[in-house]
Structures are given as structure tokens and as C-alpha cells.
Amino acid sequence: MSKNLLLIFTRNPELGKVKTRLAKTVGDQAALDIYKFLLNHTKEVTQNLNCDKAVYYSVKIRENDIWSTSTYQKHAQFGVDLGIRMQNAFEQAFEKKYEKVLIIGSDLFDLKEKHIEEAFEMLDSNDVVIGPAEDGGYYLLGMKTLYSSVFHNKQWGTSTVRQDTLNDLQNVSVHLLETLNDVDVFDDIKDNATFNQFYTN
């Protein structure tokens, strides 16, 4: 068992239930295809990292999917909103005696191994690591101890999340990673050749 754990929050890839803001422009099927592509990208980026890994499913755990049980622990998210679900996942990790815990989503085309490796490394000299997203949220959060305030009183999915989170962490040391763009709406991918295959047919 590693002392480091990477939590990966995913949505079960079901038609009409993923990337709903994106689907308003490209349609449900294209949105699902794009999300499956992003899930696979997340797997490719994370599978060889030198840490333990756990996938947290939004609805129910899938046994025979892209996440091999030889590489990934599997859990179901629980809680009334995103903040509580993330807090519960961190609590489970620290109860298992992990020393550094990161959480990421599964919709980051720009995510690379180096971002996760840097986050773990920066926790040696910082209390918290945040990966800022261009939309004002964050794509990564890392901690060595639970700061539960960051999971409460947030307007999840809005442009205020990161600043509100930093306001909660004024008394601890925070390292900010490179800013990346997560995929939520059509403008996030409209000029990206990789995604053109999904919605220009």
C-alpha cells in the first residue's frame, strides 16, 4: 500500500446524464461519446502513476468497465451534494491512514501525469494543493489532513468556487498548479481538433 492516494470522481456514462451543458449544443449522444473519451484519457493518465488509486462512481459501481480492479479501488460516492461527497471520500482515505490524498474529476483533456506528480510532491512543503480551472473552479484538490470547511457553503459548478475555497484556507500554505481547462460547455472544445470527430459527422 502506498502512502499516497488519488481519488477519481466519475459519472456513470449514461445517455442524457453526462455533460448536460455540453449536450445542449452537441446533443446527448455526442456528449456521451465525448465523456467516454475523457474517461479513457483520465485512465491513461493515471494508471501508471506511483500511488494508490480509487474510482468513485456517481451512481453505482461497475465491475467490467475501463477501470481495472487490479489498478483501481472502486467505491460509490455518497452525500447530498458534491462537497459532502468529496469530504466523505477524503475521510475514508484518511481513515485508511493515507498521508497525502488528491482528488480529480474525469473531464480534463489537458490533464497529464506531471500535474498529479507535482501535486503529491508539493504536499511535502504545503498543506494544500489546488489545480485551478479556467472557469473559476478547480480540477485537483490535495491535502495531508482534512480541512472540512472547503467542502461546505460553495456554489458548486460556478466561477466562485476556487476563490471561496482559497478564502477558507487563508491560515494554511497552498500551492497552485498550472491552470487547465475542463470540458463543460461547447466553447471549451469547439476549436479542438480531437473533439471535432464527435460532433461534426
- Phi-psi domain of 180 (left: phi exceeds 0; alpha: psi -120 through 50; beta: other): beta
pLDDT value of residue 107:
86
pLDDT value of residue 194:
75
pLDDT by residue (tens digit) across 103-130? Answer: 999 989 899 999 999 999 999 999 999 9
- Residue 16 burial (CB count, 10 A): 10
The residue assigned the cell 461527497 is: 85
Residue 201 covered by a domain: no
pLDDT value of residue 175:
97
Residue 47 covered by a domain: yes
Number of domains composing the chain: 1
Give pTM, 2 decimals.
0.93
Q: How far apart are CA 168 and CA 162, in angstroms?
A: 10
Residue 80 covered by a domain: yes
Residue 17 covered by a domain: yes
Q: Whose CA is closest to 9, among 189, 137, 125, 178?
A: 137
pLDDT value of residue 182:
80
Residue 35 covered by a domain: yes
* Whether residue 200 has pLDDT greater than 70: no
* Whether residue 89 has pLDDT greater than 90: yes
Residue 169 covered by a domain: yes
* Whether residue 157 has pLDDT greater than 90: no
Domain containing 173 equals: 4-196
pLDDT by residue (tens digit) across 4-59? Answer: 999 999 998 889 888 888 889 888 998 899 899 999 999 999 999 999 999 999 98
What CATH number did the domain enclosing 130 receive? 3.90.550.10
Question: For residues 137 and 130, is the Cβ–Cβ distance under 8 A?
Answer: no
Angle at 165 between CA 138 and CA 183, to 5 degrees: 15
